Amino acid sequence: MTEAPRMTWGVVVHHPSGRPEVAATLARLTERLAASRPGYVLWSLGSPLDEVLAHAASIPPQGEIIVVPLLLAPGKHYVEDVPRLARALSAARPDLRVIVRPPLLEDDSFLVAWLEGL
C-alpha cells in the first residue's frame, strides 16, 4: 500500500510590481500553485501580513511552513524582509517549524533545472 503524498504548506515570496504583465504572470503562478501545491500562497514583499498569517492559522498543529523566496540572490529583501516574515509566522504560530529556503541562485535544485533548460 502506498502512502498518500504529505501535504505541505508554504509562502512563495516575490517582488511587488504594478505592471499588468507581472500581474498576469503572478495570476498564472497562483493557479499553478493551487493545482499542484494547494498548501502554498503567493505573497508580495511589503504587502500586509494578514493573508499569510491567516494561511498559517489553517495549518495543523505541530506542522511546518516553508518560506520560498522567489528572489535571485541574498540581497536586501532576502536578508531583511524574509527573516521578518519568518519571525512573524513564528510569533503567530510558535508550534510550527518555519523553514526558509535559499534564494534561487543558491538553490541547487533550481540551478540544475534552469541549466538543463538552457
Q: Where are the domains of the chain?
A: 1-15+40-101
Question: What does the pLDDT look like over 89-105, one tens digit per residue?
Answer: 999 999 999 999 999 99
Residue 1 is predicted with a pLDDT of: 54
DSSP secondary structure string for all residues of the chain: -PPPPPP-EEEEEE-----HHHHHHHHHHHHHHHHH-TTEEEEETTS-SHHHHHHHHTSPTT-EEEEEE--SSSSHIIIIIHHHHHHHHHHH-TTSEEEEPPPGGG-HHHHHHHHHT-
Q: In this model, does residue 3 exceed pLDDT 60?
A: no
pTM, two decimals, is 0.89
Residue 107 is predicted with a pLDDT of: 96
Residue 42 is predicted with a pLDDT of: 94
Q: In this model, does residue 7 exceed pLDDT 70?
A: yes
